Chains A and B, each alone.
Chain A
Amino acid sequence: MARIPAPKLELHRETLPNGLRVVLAPDRSAPVVAVSVHYDVGFRSEPEGRTGFAHLFEHLMFQGSESLQKLAHFRHVQASGGIFNGSTHPDYTDYFEVLPSAALERALFLEGDRMRAPRLTTEKLRNQVDVVKEEIRLNVLNRPYGGFPWITLPPVLYDTFPNAHNGYGDFTELEAATVDDCAAFFDAFYAPGNAVLTVAGDLEIEHARELVGRHFGDVPARPVPARPSFAEPAPDGERRHEQDDLLAPLPALAIGYRLPDPVADLETYLAHEVLAAVLSDGDSSRLEQRLVHTDELVTDIGAGCGLMGAPLDARDPDTFTVTALHPVDVEAGRVLDVTDEEIGRLADNGPDPDELSRITARWAATLFRDHDRLVSRTLAVGAFELLHGRPELVAELPAMVSAVKPEQVAAAAKRLSPDSRAVLLVRPATGPPEASPEASPEGSPAGSTRALAGGAA
C-alpha cells in the first residue's frame, strides 16, 4: 500500500475588529493568487414566498457597487488576467477571483467594495431575473433529469420549508422579488461578521494583511443574525414519490437518508463518506460490481454524502444519496432490493481492511489533486472556516479518513435503514412530449447535481 504523505498547508487566521474572519494560505509554487468570500447564508435561509432568492442575490452582487459601475467587476477581474465566479449552497454563498498575483490588491478592492456598498437597482434586478430564468431553463426545465436529485429529492425527505424547497426558485417568486427585498437580505446576512475572507496562493503574509486591512477594515460592523437550526426529525418510515420526466429516456431513482451532524459529529459523518466510497467508488466497489457488472441491473450508480455532489458542504441536516439509472425493463424495486442487500452485507460484516485502505489511498489522492487547483483549495479553506471554524481540516481530512475503522463503516451502513428514508422514482416519457414543462405550476421537473453556479459560468 502506498504511504500517503501529509498535505502541506500553511494557514494564518485573524478576525478584524468589524468581525470579518480572515484566513491567509500562502503557497508560492505558482505566481497566481485567489481571493474568496464566503457569506453565512444559503438557500435554506431564504424567506418563504421568495424561493431562489439567495441565488438571485448572488447574481446581483456582481452587478456593481459604490466604486464600480455595472460590468466593471467582470472587466476589472478579466482585464487583470483573472477569472471569477460565485455559487449558492444550502448554507453559504461564495464568491471568488483567481488572478496573476500582481492583481491581489485589485481583487481585495472588488470584494471589499461590494461587501461595503453594493448598488442594488430595479434595472439590474430585472435583468438578472431574466438571466437566472435562462439558467434554470438550461439546467432544469429544458433537459432530462433536470434538478435530479438536488431539487427533486429534498421535498420527499424533508418537511420544513428551509430543507424541502427548491433553491433555484419558482419563476413567479423570482419575478416577485423587489429591490427592497434585496436591501433587507443584504442588511440581514451580508455583514462582515457573517463572512469569511480567504486569500491563498502567491502572497507575502505581512503585505497581504496590510492590503486586507486597507480594503476591509472600514467596512462597518453590523449585527450578525442568529443562525437558526434547520433540524427536523428523520422520517419514521419510507417515503416514496414518483415523478414523471417528459424528457427522460430511462428510469432513474434516488434514495435519500439522513446523515449525522457534520459539525457536531464529524467522525461519524466521515464514516459515511468512506461507506459511500466502499459502495460506489471504482470498478471494485460493492454496488458497481454487483448492480452494474454482476446482476446488470443499472447503467450507472453512485452514492455520496451531500446533495450538491460533494461531502461536507452543508450543516445539519445533510443527506446521504444513492442514485441510479436503469433500463426500462428492470423494476425499480429490484434495484432497491439489491442495493439494500449490499448495504445490509456491509452492516453485518463491515468492509475488509484491504478494501478500506484502498479507499483511503484513493480518497487522499483525490483530495491532493483537487487542492492542486488553487481555486478548489481556496474555497475549501473558506468553507471549512465558515462551517466548522477549522480551516485546518482541509489538511487533516486524509488522516481522519484513514483512521475510520471497519466497525464504524458497518455502523454507518446500519444507519441507512429502509425504515427511515426517501425514495424518488423518475418515470421516463412514454411518448412525444406534449406540454411545455415550464407551463406546469411547480415548474421544476428537475438539472444538474452540481452547485448552483452563478455569476459567470
Chain B
Amino acid sequence: MTTTVAGRDTDPVGHRSAEQIGNTPAGPRPLPELGKQRTARAPTSVDTVLDNGLRVIAVRRPAVPMVELRLAVPFGGMHRTHAARAEVLAATLLRGTADRDRFQIDTELARVGGDLSTGVDPERLSVSGSALASGLRVLLDVLADSLRSASHAAGEVARERSRLVERITMGRSQPRVIAREALQRHRYGDHPATREMPEADDVTAVTPAAVRALHRRALVPRGAVLVAVGDITPLRVVETIAAALAGWHSERAATELAPLPEVTGGDLALVHRPAAVQSQLRLSAQAVPRTDERYPAVQLANLVFGGYFSSRWVENIREDKGYTYGAHSGFEFTPHGATLLADADTASEVTAAALLETRYELGRMAVAPPDESEVDDARHYATGSLMIGTSSQAGLAGHLTTLALLGLDVDWLRAHPARLRTVTTGQVADAAAEFLAPTRFTGVVVGDAERLAAPLSALGGVALP
C-alpha cells in the first residue's frame, strides 16, 4: 500500500527556507501532561534453594511462548592462569559430553528453537539460554548433561584454544579493550579482577586435564543461581529444574572473587596508543552497593552527572561542545562493593578540553548540587527505564540474575521505585558532594601521547607515560 498525497513530484522546484519550516501560523504548542500510569501486575514467582545448594528463581511472564534461562556461578580464582583455564572451560562446556557430541547438542537445541551460550569473567561463569517454552526440558537436559559430564575432549580443547588466542589478538586491537585493561591495572594492580582477558601464552598452555579439574572443583551449584523467566508455571518449573539438575552436586561451594581494594582519587595515567585519532577517557571512583541505604541517592546523583542523555556531562561535552558521540557514567557492581565509571571517546585535538569539562562538571556536582527539577527528572528516568528494561523476558532474567548474585531478589526490584520516590533533593546533593567530587576520581586516558602530552600536562593531574 502506498498513499500519494497531492500527486508525486519527481523534482520539487524550490523548497521552503529553514526559517519557514520551523514556524507555523499557530506557533509553539504546550507540552501535554502525563496521563495516569497503570502499574505492572506483580508476576508469580518462586525463589528457592535446591538440595544441591543451587538457588533457583522462576518468574512467569507469558508475553511470548518462550523461556529464558540464566545460570551464574561465582568463579573467582587467585592463580595467575585461572583466567586462561576458565576461558577454555567456558568455550568447551557445551561442546560435548559422555552422551552427546557438539553436533548433537546443537541439533537437539535447534529442534526446540533453543540456544545456549557461555561466558566467563573474573567474577562469574555464566550460561545463558532460551527456547520455545515447550522445549524447556530439552534445554535443561543439555545444560544438566554439560554441567555433570562435559568431556572437554582434547580435540575440542585444542581447537577452542587456538580460536581463543585469535580472539584475544582481535580483542587487544580494540581501543575499548586497551582502555579497559589499562584502567583495571591502574585501579587494581595485579588483582585477579584485572584478568578479564587472559594472556595468549597462558591459553596455549591449558591442558584438557586442567580444564576438567577446574570444572570439577569450581563449576558447582552451591552459591550459584539459576533464573528462569517466561511462559512457565514457576512452581512446576522449579520441580522440573530440581529433577533435571539433581545429578549436579559437589561438597564445595562456588568461589567468590576476592574483595577489590578501594579506589582512591589520584592522577590519571596517560597511555600511549600510536597514531590514534581518538582518545578514551575512563574515570572511576568508589561508590556504594545497592544494599547501602545511600544507594538510591547516589544512583540519582550519578544520573544527573552523566548517567543518561539529559545529564550535565552529556549536554556539555556532546550537545554543546561536540567533543564526543557518547559519554556515559554508570555503576560497576561486585559482590563486595561498587564503583562509578565515566567514559567518553574524543578526538585527539579536543581530548584535553573534554577532560577539563569533565572535571568542571564533577566539580559542579560537589559545589553546585542537583536542584529539585534535576533530581525529579532523574527519578522519573530511573523508575521508567527500570520498568522498560524489565518488561521483556530477557531483560527481567538479566536483572534478576545480577541482583541474585548480590544477594537481592524480586522483592528488592519491586520495592526500588518506592525507594527512588522517597529520596530527597538534599540527600542527592549530599551524595553528589560525597561521591562525585573530582578529587575522588582516578583513571586513564588512552591516545596518541605525542599529541596529548603537552595539553594534558598543562591541565595537570595526569601522569605521562
Partner-B contacts on A (CB < 8 A) = 1-5, 7, 15, 18-19, 21, 27, 29-32, 65-67, 70-71, 74-76, 78-84, 98-106, 109, 113, 116-121, 126-135, 137-138, 141-144, 179-180, 182-184, 186-188, 191-193, 202, 218, 221-226, 246-250, 282-284, 289, 292-293, 296, 299-300, 325, 327, 354, 357-359, 361-362, 364-366, 368-369, 371-374, 389-390, 432-438, 456-457
Contacts and interface: CB of A to CB of B under 8 A. Distances in A.
A65 B22 contact: yes
Contact of A436 (B21, B275, B326): B275
Interface of B: 1-10, 12, 15-18, 20-24, 26-40, 61-66, 95, 102-103, 105-107, 109-115, 130-132, 134-135, 159, 162-163, 166-167, 169-170, 172-175, 274-278, 308-310, 315, 318-326, 345-347, 376-377, 380-381, 383-385, 387-388, 391-395
A178 B429 CA distance: 43
Contacts of B321: 127, 130
Interface centre among B18, B62, B385 (most CB of A within 10 A): B18
Given A144-B174, A283-B105, A183 B8 contact: no
Contacts of B383: 81, 100
Contacts of A75: 310, 377
Given A284-B106, A325-B166, A365 B22 contact: no
B323 A134 contact: yes
Interface centre among B61, B64, B134, B387 (most CB of A within 10 A): B64
Given A81-B381, A248-B173, A117 B24 contact: yes
A129 to B, nearest CB: 8
A440 to B, nearest CB: 11
B22 A80 contact: no
Given A121-B18, A143-B174, A105 B32 contact: yes
B70 to A, nearest CB: 14
A381 B253 CA distance: 48
A30 B107 contact: no
A82 B388 contact: yes
A434 B275 contact: yes
A79 B381 contact: yes
Which 7 A/B pairs are nearest by Cβ-Cβ distance? A81-B384, A365-B113, A130-B322, A19-B5, A358-B110, A187-B15, A193-B5
A4 B113 contact: yes
A188 B12 contact: yes
B384 A2 contact: no
B29 to A, nearest CB: 5
Nearest to A363: B113
Contact of B384 (A99, A135, A389): A99
B349 to A, nearest CB: 11
B10 A15 contact: no
Contact of A5 (B65, B170, B322): B65
A143 B277 CA distance: 10
B34 A103 contact: yes
Contact of B63 (A27, A121, A179, A284): A27
Contact of B278 (A129, A134, A366): A134
B31 A250 contact: no
Given A21-B3, A368-B66, A369-B66, A137 B347 contact: yes
A188 B14 CA distance: 10
Interface centre among B8, B24, B384 (most CB of A within 10 A): B384
B315 A71 contact: yes
A328 to B, nearest CB: 10
Given A15-B3, A65-B22, A224-B5, A32 B388 contact: yes
Given A100-B387, A137-B347, A325-B166, A361 B5 contact: no
Contacts of B163: 292, 299-300
Contacts of B39: 31
29 contacts: A5-B132, A19-B5, A65-B22, A66-B22, A67-B30, A79-B376, A82-B388, A102-B36, A119-B22, A120-B21, A127-B321, A134-B346, A138-B326, A183-B21, A184-B15, A218-B26, A224-B6, A224-B9, A282-B110, A283-B95, A283-B105, A296-B162, A299-B166, A358-B111, A368-B113, A372-B66, A372-B394, A438-B277, A457-B326
A80 B381 CA distance: 7
Given A247-B173, A366-B113, 10 more contacts: A2-B113, A32-B387, A32-B388, A103-B34, A104-B35, A180-B18, A187-B15, A283-B105, A365-B130, A373-B394
B63 A30 contact: yes
A67 B27 CA distance: 8
Contacts of A30: 40, 63, 387, 391
Nearest to A85: B309
Contacts of B103: 283-284, 289
A71 B319 contact: yes
A282 B163 CA distance: 16
Nearest to B393: A372
Contacts of B65: 5, 368
A102 B35 contact: yes
A75 B34 CA distance: 14
Contacts of B27: 66
A179 B112 contact: no
A183 B16 contact: yes
Contacts of A182: 18
B276 to A, nearest CB: 6
Contacts, number: 326
Contacts of B169: 249-250
A127 B322 contact: yes
Given A5-B65, A31-B39, A102-B36, A283 B106 contact: yes
A447 B1 CA distance: 35
Given A133-B347, A284-B106, A128 B322 contact: yes
A371 to B, nearest CB: 7
A144 B315 CA distance: 29
Contacts of B325: 131-132, 134-135, 137-138
Given A66-B24, A66-B28, A432 B274 contact: yes
Contacts of B135: 2
Nearest to A131: B322
Given A27-B63, A75-B310, A179-B18, A374 B173 contact: no
A283 B163 CA distance: 14
A118 B278 contact: no
A359 B114 CA distance: 10
Nearest to B104: A284
Contacts of A80: 34, 380, 384
B182 to A, nearest CB: 16
A31 B345 CA distance: 36
A361 B132 contact: yes
A417 B391 CA distance: 45
B12 A223 contact: yes
A71 B166 CA distance: 44
A58 to B, nearest CB: 13
A370 B393 CA distance: 10
Contacts of A184: 15
B177 to A, nearest CB: 10
Contacts of B381: 78-79, 81-82
A67 B23 CA distance: 9
A76 B32 CA distance: 10
B310 to A, nearest CB: 5
A327 B166 contact: yes
A138 B29 contact: no
A223 B8 CA distance: 6
Nearest to A104: B35
Nearest to A374: B391
B384 A105 contact: no
Nearest to A389: B1
A117 B23 contact: yes
A192 B111 CA distance: 44
B115 A221 contact: no
Contacts of A179: 18
A4 B110 CA distance: 12
Contacts of A457: 326
A150 B287 CA distance: 40
B309 A74 contact: yes
